[in-house]
Structures are given as structure tokens and as C-alpha cells.
């Protein structure tokens, strides 16, 4: 008898069972069990039912036939993984280190089917409506009369209106149905996520490409015509019209019957991006993100699978949209840290996009005003085609920039966060009825509470980080831990030394708003940070309101610096440019340069020229100087040389292995053994740098201890090999209570 077997990955993320288990496909399920589908299977000693994914089907038993159990059933509410996404999951597991099930879950942003929305309608069934009306009138059946009269003018009325506005009870509807007068019908539809204001974009005339945009779009189109698929790096200054280039390239692939994914780095950019794209592609555009309900998300992926949309816009998880014929992946602001996943597998969307595009024969466009050092060096090496746009579209000049030295300001006795020059400029813009954006890279009232007698800050007892001060809910203020939520009332004396010289240090968005209100009581302000944007659509509301001119000054964190386009903004103030410089991270120079350049790009987007004012305690730092000069090449050369010299990515590759556990001793012991394992195995690898085990900057979170190993080598594959050895070793020792994570080329230091 011929028998068929399925290779199944069990839906439990644990190293010890991170392998394939074979099951028999019973005859009655043949045909239903396909690669990628979710199945129920007996697992473990008790044969309790578990879920799993079929990742392969074969006719050969790999184990003793009598010990292989049969699949119980195919999950009815499970979403199947597309086979191409399944192999992408395998690639992700291999390259970033995680269990297979975690990798499968990564490529499946929606794991369960969600019922579609059903709308019910009342439909008229009789021809002789007048005699019906007469009958109800005679019986004085008021509700029925209301419905029949409403149906005189309209054949179909939604049930919500019948029971709502018309106030007809469901019993009355039922009775009329039984009398054969009406019929209740149903229709199901996809959940719509785009709002009216996104879709009814002003129908202004189609933009005429300028010469450089035309040249780039033409090159892309002719590459497509010639069957060339590759990766392009579009380096365009802020306002150079990169979006317009994306649109034209996407239009080309749609003409070829293919689809496109557009990745954006921030939820806050969804509104304006979708709006821009619907102007060209109408309702063939949709978006996904974490603010959607699971039903809304599920429906968007279904529409993509069925070919009902051509463009999906979203954060890094949109990369796994199950398009049948993917033609192009656009990654806007490709340098952004949000493209790297925080959870294992800690994949980078840029690399995964390149891999998916390679396998599926699609092109990739990476766009940025400040390309990552990684991408730019690959472009320099000829691996990516470099496109450069040095001027703003429609020939508007770049904003004028000026640096204010805060040390000088302090010496002159100005202790405000607003320097004299900035205050003068703000007053000038208010008087001219132009708008201002103020950017501070911190949220909360003050960043943390600090004692000027002993130098201690007030810390979280569980997380080893300073508590942040909030005044939203309570006039006396509370201190909150951003990692675990621990909170206490703000102390009036220092918990360490008893001094009364305790208070706020640094500045956050709320403090800036207060200061602005004090200096300019007549100015209308809006604040945008994580605290004011926690609700669905709150981003859009704040931005729309500012766009309509309902406020003079928008104060915010990095959320406000990316991409937003407000024609009436002629002044951008960066209140403390240094804040990103001091986090002890090899990318901090790059991050500072990016933020300042992006922020500068917000000024003067309309007809009026813009000005950018950078306040700093370090006016000589190369990242700040380069940003003020808007000189990417200068920045790139300095930064690239520093990375090579220090053996940081991209010149070298880096792997961080982090272990987390509740028992400090056990954790230290495992990390020491892991160190010896790697040392021993790679003793002849002269070019391997192995540092640790050491305490990360935050050595305890929620009472769990953390330790890290830093490993560097030029060759990524050597690091993958080390990861594999560590994984195998962990499986053998099966030490419970300690979790190990891998992070290749991390975006943050630990």
C-alpha cells in the first residue's frame, strides 16, 4: 500500500523541538493536506492535540513506520502559508537565527482566518404595495407601515437602518417576512481601511516629471522591458520628488500585470502615502499596519492574494503580502531603524526584500535622503544602481541652516530651551502667519529626575533604567518606567541622599510646549509624540489639523520629522541636536545625521524659503556639521572610514548573542561555556573578534538578568556558522530557564 507522509513543524517555539516531525497523511485527508497548510496533530507522550504547519510531503518514511502517527485533521480556521513565503521563512531562520516556527509566524502577519463582514438588507417582495399599506393602516401597525412606506421609494434598505432610523423591531421584520411581504438578504464584503479623506484626494493635474525624474523613470522602464531586475538606490534630497519616481515605476510594473509593495518606516506616514498613491491607482491601493483589527488585516491580505489590489503600503511586515506576481518592492527611508525587527528572528526588511525579489524575479528600489552606510557602500561597490537627485523638485532651494551653540547661550544667562535666535525667528513667523515645527528627541515632561547634590537619578528597581516623568494625569507628576510600567509619585527629596535639590533634567515635548506657551501666549500649539498618538487615527488628526493651519507651532519627537509635507512651514527648530549622540552606539553619528537632515527637510516645502535652526552643545561634531551643510558625501566618507577602522558594520559583520534568565549564576555559567565553545571551535580563525560575556547597558528587565557576547568577523557566513553551532549546543544541553537570542548587525547597542 502506498502511503504519503507530511513533514510538520510544531507550533511551539522551543529549541528542543525545533525540527521536522513526520506524520502519516490518512487517505481521507489526501488532497486536503498541502504544503503550507495548518494541521492538528497528536504530539508528545500524552498525544495531546497541537497545531503545526506542513512544510513538505514525501512518500518515504524517515522513521520506523509503526511509530509515525497520523494527522488528525486540517485546521479549518488556519491560514495556509504560501509555499514561496515558506521558503523565505527557511532563509530567515538560517540567516538570523530563530526557531522555524518563529520564522513561519514572521512571514504570516495574519495567522487565522477572520469571517468576512456580513451586511443584511430588507428587500420588498410583493408587487401590490398599496394594498399592503392599506392593510397595515387598518390594523394600526405603525412600525410595519413605516417600513412599507420607506420601501415604496427604495427597493433595498440596510437592516441597520430598518432597526435604527426607522425603529422597526426585529420581531416586526420577522412577521413581515412570514407574511411574504419582504425578504431579508445578506451580502459579505471586505473590510475597507482607507478613509474618505485618503481616497478623495484633490484631483490636481498629473505632475510633469522634471528631467532627472524622467531619466530615472525611463531607465527603470527600459530595464523592465529588457527583462533586467535589480536593486536601485535612489539617493534624493528631501523634497526631490522621490514619491513621484516610485509612482511611475509602480505604474510600469502594474502595466506588466504585476504588483508592488511599498514599505514605509512609520505608521504616521500611512495617511499621506496612501493619499498620494490613491491619486494614481484609486482603490487598487490599500495598506496594512498594527493599528488595524485582525479582520481588517486579514481582508487586505485576501484582497492582495485575489489580485483585487495592486499596491500594498505598510511597515516591514507588509513585505510578506501574498501577491501572486510581485514585480517591485519599494523601501522608502531605507536607512530607518524600524526596518529591523525587535523580536526574533531579528531580520532586516531590506535584506529580506532583496531575497524575496531575487526568488520571485522582482525589482527593488531603496529610497532615502540619507542612505544607510550599508546601502551606499553597496552602491559604491556597483552592487546597486545608484540614482541621485540633488535638487528639490520644482526647483525650490534647500533650506538655509544655522547652528546655535547652547554653551554660549548658557554663558549669556539664557536658561530656556529656546535660544534667543530661535525665539526671534518664531516671533517673526507668528507675525507673518507662517508655521513652525519644533523637534525634540524625547517624550515626557522631563527625560528623568536627577539630584544635583549626589548626581543620582531615580531608577526603576526592576529594570536598571531611569524613570521618566509624566504630568498628564496628575499635577504633582508621576515617574514611570518605559520598560515595565512601574510607577511612583514624584519624590520631593532625593531617595539616595535626602537632598531637596531634585528635579527635572533635560527636556521633553511637554516641557517644550509649556515653554512655548509661556514665551508666546498667543501662539496655538499642537504636540505629537507617543503619548498623544496612542489612539487609532490620532496621527492623522494631528497632522491634518496642522495642515489646515489650525495651529501655528507643531512640537514633536522624531515622528514629525519624517516625510511630512507642509507648504506653510518656514522654520524648523531642532532643540537639542546632541540627544542622539550620547547613547554609546556605533550608529549614533549616523542617526544624528539622519534626524537632522530629515528635520531640515521639513522647512520651506512650499513657495516660501525655509530656515532650519540647530541648537547643540557640540557644534563641532562631524555629524552635526555635515547635517548643517547638508553634505551627505562628507558625512559618508567620514563615517565609512570610522566604521572600517573600528571594524563595525558594514565593513565587518557583527553578531550579538544575548541570553536572558531569572537565575544570575546559571546565566553567567551558560555564557562562560558558550564563550569557551566558540573560542575552542574557531581557535584558528585569526580574524574573529569575540568579546564578553558582559552586562548590557540595561542588565535587568522585569527581574530577568541579561548577558551578551559580541562577535565580529568580516564574513557573514562565519557568523552564521557560529550561530548554528550555538543553536546545536543549546539543543543538546537543553537548559531550561535561559533564553538565547541572536542579533546580526544590530541597530542598537545592548
Could you list the residues that contact ligand ADP (CB under 6 A)?
A: 207-210, 213, 236, 238-244, 393-394, 565
551 makes contact with Zn ion (CB under 5 A) = no
- Which option in ligand ADP, Zn ion, none does residue 236 bind, with CB closer than 5 to 8 A by kind? ligand ADP
Q: Which one, of 361, 313, 330, 339, lies nearest residue 236 by Cα?
A: 330
CA-to-CA separations, 98 to 75, 106, 658, 746, in angstroms, rounded: 25, 10, 13, 15
698 binding Zn ion? (CB under 5 A) = no
Q: Which member of 57, 129, 141, 484 binds Zn ion (CB under 5 A)?
A: 484
Cell of 562: 519624517
Residue identified by cell 498613491 is 277
Distance CA 549, CA 205 (A): 24
| Residue 505 contacts Zn ion per CB under 5 A | no
If we measure between CA atoms, which residue out of 51, 47, 37 comes closest to residue 68?
47
Question: Binder to Zn ion among 149, 177, 405, 486 (CB under 5 A)?
Answer: 486
Contact stretch for Zn ion (CB under 5 A) within 57-65, 259-267, 447-455, 709-717: 447-455
Residue closer to Zn ion by CB (options 468, 623) is: 468
Q: Which is nearer to Zn ion, 462 or 673 (CB)?
A: 462
Q: How near is the Cβ of 613 to ligand ADP at its closest, in Å?
A: 20
Smallest distance from Zn ion to CB 707, Å: 18
Instruction: Pick the binder of Zn ion from 73, 414, 453, 739 (CB under 5 A).
Output: 453
Q: Which residue has the cell 506657551?
A: 517
Complete DSSP assignment for 403-435:
EEEHHHHHHTT--SSS-HHHHHHHHHHHHHT-E
Which of ligand ADP, Zn ion, none interacts with 118 (beta carbon under 5 to 8 A by kind)?
A: none
From ligand ADP, Zn ion, none, which one binds at residue 239 (CB under 5 to 8 Å depending on kind)?
Answer: ligand ADP
Sign of CA dihedral 392, 393, 397, 401: negative
Nearer to ligand ADP, 240 or 653 (CB): 240
Euclidean distance between CA atoms 447 and 469, whole angstroms: 7
Q: Choose the binding region for Zn ion from 175-183, 206-214, 460-468, 633-641 (rule: CB under 5 A).
A: 460-468
Least spacing, CB of residue 603 vs ligand ADP, in Å: 12
Q: What are phi and psi of 663, to 5 degrees?
A: -105, 110
The binding track of 463-482 with respect to Zn ion, each residue x by CB under 5 A or -, is: x-----------------x-
Selected binder of Zn ion within 496, 541, 725, 748 (CB under 5 A): 496
By CB under 5 A, is residue 458 in contact with Zn ion? Answer: no
Rg (CA), the chain: 30
Chain residue at closest Cβ approach to ligand ADP: 241
- Give the whole-angstrom CA distance, residue 682 versus residue 721: 10
Chain-centroid distance of CA 615 in Å reads: 29
Name which of 209 and 614 has its Cβ closer to ligand ADP: 209
Among 92-100, 250-258, 457-465, 643-651, which window interacts with Zn ion (CB under 5 A)? 457-465
> How far apart are alpha carbons 429 and 450 in whole angstroms?
35
- Rounded least distance, CB 640 to ligand ADP, Å: 23
> What residue 356 binds from Zn ion, ligand ADP, none (CB within 5 to 8 A, per partner kind)?
none
703 sits near Zn ion (criterion: CB under 5 A): no
Instruction: Render 617-634 in DSSP notation, one character per residue.
Output: S-TT-HHHHHHHHT-HHH
Helix axes 211-225, 242-255, angle to 10 degrees: 30
Considering the complex, state which of residue 233 and residue 465 has its C-beta at the smaller distance from Zn ion: 465
| Alpha helix ranges (H) inside 34-169 | 83-96, 100-106, 129-139, 142-153, 159-163
State yes or no: residue 124 binds Zn ion (CB under 5 A). Answer: no
Beta bridge partners of 607: none
In angstroms, what CA-CA distances link 7 with 21, 37, 85, 172, 331?
A: 6, 11, 17, 56, 35
Instruction: Find which of Zn ion, ligand ADP, none residue 453 binds, CB within 5 to 8 Å per kind.
Output: Zn ion
Residue 243 contact, options ligand ADP, Zn ion, none, Cβ 5-8 Å cut-off depending on partner type: ligand ADP
Interacting partner of 654 out of Zn ion, ligand ADP, none (Cβ under 5 to 8 A depending on kind): none
Q: Of 486 and 642, which CB lies nearer to Zn ion in the complex structure?
A: 486
Closer of 57 and 207 to ligand ADP (Cβ): 207
462 is a site residue for Zn ion (CB under 5 A): yes
Q: How far is CA 165 from CA 7, 154, 498, in A?
A: 56, 15, 65
DSSP SS3 for 523: coil
State yes or no: residue 494 binds Zn ion (CB under 5 A).
Answer: yes
Q: Which stretch binds Zn ion (CB under 5 A): 42-50, 462-470, 609-617, 619-627?
A: 462-470
Instruction: Give CA–CA dist 285/308, Å, rounded.
Output: 9
Contact residues for Zn ion (CB under 5 A)?
451, 453-454, 460, 462-463, 481, 483-484, 486, 494, 496-497, 499
Amino acid at each position: 500500500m502506498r502511503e504519503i507522509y507530511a513533514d510538520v513543524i510544531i507550533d511551539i517555539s522551543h529549541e528542543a523541538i525545533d525540527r521536522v516531525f513526520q506524520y502519516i497523511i490518512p487517505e481521507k485527508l489526501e488532497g486536503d493536506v498541502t504544503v503550507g497548510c495548518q494541521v492538528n496533530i497528536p504530539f508528545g507522550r500524552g498525544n495531546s492535540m497541537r497545531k503545526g504547519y506542513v512544510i513538505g510531503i514525501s512518500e518515504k518514511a524517515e522513521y520506523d513506520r509503526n511509530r509515525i502517527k497520523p494527522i488528525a485533521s486540517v485546521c479549518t480556521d488556519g491560514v495556509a502559508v504560501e509555499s514561496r513565503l515558506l521558503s523565505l521563512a527557511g532563509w530567515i531562520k538560517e540567516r538570523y537565527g530563530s526557531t522555524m516556527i518563529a520564522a513561519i509566524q514572521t512571514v504570516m502577519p495574519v495567522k487565522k482566518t477572520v469571517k468576512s463582514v456580513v451586511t443584511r438588507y430588507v428587500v420588498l417582495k410583493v408587487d401590490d404595495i398599496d394594498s399592503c399599506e392599506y392593510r397595515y393602516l387598518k390594523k394600526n401597525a405603525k412600525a410595519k407601515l413605516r417600513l412599507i412606506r420607506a420601501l415604496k421609494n427604495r427597493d433595498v434598505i440596510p437592516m441597520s437602518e430598518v432597526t435604527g432610523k426607522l425603529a422597526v423591531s426585529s420581531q416586526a421584520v420577522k412577521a413581515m417576512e412570514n407574511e411574504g411581504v419582504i425578504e431579508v438578504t445578506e451580502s459579505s464584503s471586505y473590510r475597507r481601511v482607507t478613509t474618505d479623506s485618503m481616497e478623495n484626494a484633490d484631483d490636481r493635474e498629473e505632475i510633469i516629471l522634471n528631467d532627472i525624474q524622467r531619466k530615472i523613470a525611463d531607465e527603470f522602464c527600459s530595464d523592465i522591458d529588457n527583462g533586467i531586475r535589480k536593486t536601485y538606490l535612489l539617493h534624493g534630497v528631501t523634497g526631490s520628488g522621490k514619491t513621484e519616481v516610485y509612482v511611475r515605476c509602480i505604474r510600469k510594473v502594474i502595466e506588466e500585470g504585476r504588483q508592488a509593495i511599498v514599505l514605509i518606516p512609520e505608521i504616521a506616514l500611512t495617511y499621506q502615502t496612501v493619499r498620494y498613491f490613491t491619486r494614481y491607482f484609486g482603490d487598487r491601493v490599500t495598506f496594512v499596519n498594527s493599528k488595524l483589527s485582525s479582520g481588517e488585516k486579514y481582508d487586505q491580505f485576501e484582497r492582495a492574494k485575489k489580485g483585487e489590489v495592486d499596491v500594498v503600503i505598510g511597515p516591514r511586515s507588509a513585505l510578506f503580502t501574498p501577491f501572486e506576481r510581485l514585480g517591485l518592492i519599494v523601501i522608502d527611508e531605507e536607512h530607518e531603524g524600524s526596518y529591523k525587527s525587535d523580536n526574533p528572528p531579528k531580520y532586516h526588511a531590506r535584506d529580506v526584500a532583496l531575497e524575496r525579489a531575487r526568488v520571485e524575479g522582482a525589482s527593488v528600489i531603496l529610497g532615502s535622503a540619507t542612505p544607510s552606510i550599508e546601502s551606499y557602500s553597496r552602491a559604491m561597490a556597483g552592487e546597486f544602481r545608484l540614482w541621485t537627485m540633488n535638487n528639490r523638485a520644482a526647483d525650490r532651494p534647500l533650506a538655509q541652516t544655522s547652528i546655535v551653540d547652547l554653551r554660549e547661550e548658557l554663558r549669556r544667562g539664557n536658561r530656556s530651551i529656546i535660544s534667543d535666535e530661535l525665539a526671534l525667528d518664531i516671533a517673526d513667523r507668528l507675525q507673518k502667519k507662517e508655521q513652525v515645527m519644533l523637534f525634540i528627541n524625547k517624550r515626557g515632561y522631563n527625560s528623568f529626575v536627577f539630584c544635583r547634590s549626589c548626581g543620582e537619578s531615580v531608577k526603576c528597581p526592576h529594570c536598571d533604567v531611569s524613570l521618566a516623568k509624566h504630568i498628564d494625569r496628575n499635577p504633582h507628576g508621576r515617574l514611570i518606567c518605559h520598560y515595565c510600567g512601574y510607577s511612583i509619585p514624584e519624590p520631593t527629596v532625593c531617595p539616595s541622599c535626602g537632598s531637596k535639590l531634585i528635579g527635572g533634567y533635560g527636556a521633553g515635548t511637554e516641557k517644550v510646549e509649556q515653554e512655548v506657551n509661556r514665551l508666546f501666549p498667543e501662539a496655538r500649539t499642537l504636540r505629537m509624540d507617543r503619548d498623544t498618538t496612542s489612539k487609532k487615527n490620532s496621527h492623522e488628526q494631528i497632522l491634518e489639523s496642522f495642515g489646515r493651519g489650525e495651529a501655528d507651532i507643531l512640537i514633536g519627537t522624531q515622528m514629525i520629522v519624517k516625510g511630512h509635507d507642509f507648504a506653510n512651514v518656514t522654520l524648523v527648530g531642532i532643540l537639542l541636536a546632541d540627544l542622539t549622540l550620547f547613547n554609546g552606539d556605533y550608529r549614533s553619528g549616523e542617526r544624528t545625521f539622519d534626524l537632522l537632515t530629515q528635520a531640515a527637510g521639513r522647512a520651506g516645502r512650499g513657495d516660501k524659503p525655509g530656515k532650519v535652526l540647530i541648537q547643540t552643545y557640540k557644534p563641532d561634531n562631524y555629524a552635526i556639521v555635515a547635517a548643517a551643510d547638508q553634505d551627505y558625501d562628507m558625512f559618508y566618507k567620514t563615517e565609512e572610514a570610522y566604521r572600517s577602522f573600528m571594524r563595525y558594520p558594514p565593513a565587518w559583520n557583527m553578531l550579538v548573542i544575548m541570553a536572558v534568565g531569572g537565575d544570575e549564576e546559571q546565566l553567567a555559567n551558560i555564557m562562560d561555556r558558550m564563550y569557551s565553545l566558540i573560542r575552542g571551535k574557531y581557535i584558528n580563525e585569526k580574524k574573529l573578534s569575540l568579546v564578553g560575556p558582559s552586562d548590557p547597558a540595561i542588565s535587568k528587565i522585569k527581574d530577568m538578568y541579561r548577558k551578551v557576547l559580541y562577535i565580529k568577523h568580516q564574513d557573514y557566513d562565519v557568523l552564521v556558522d557560529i550561530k548554528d553551532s550555538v543553536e546545536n549546543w543549546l539543543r543538546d544541553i537543553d537548559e531550561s530557564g535561559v533564553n538565547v537570542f541572536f542579533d546580526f548587525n544590530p541597530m542598537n547597542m545592548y
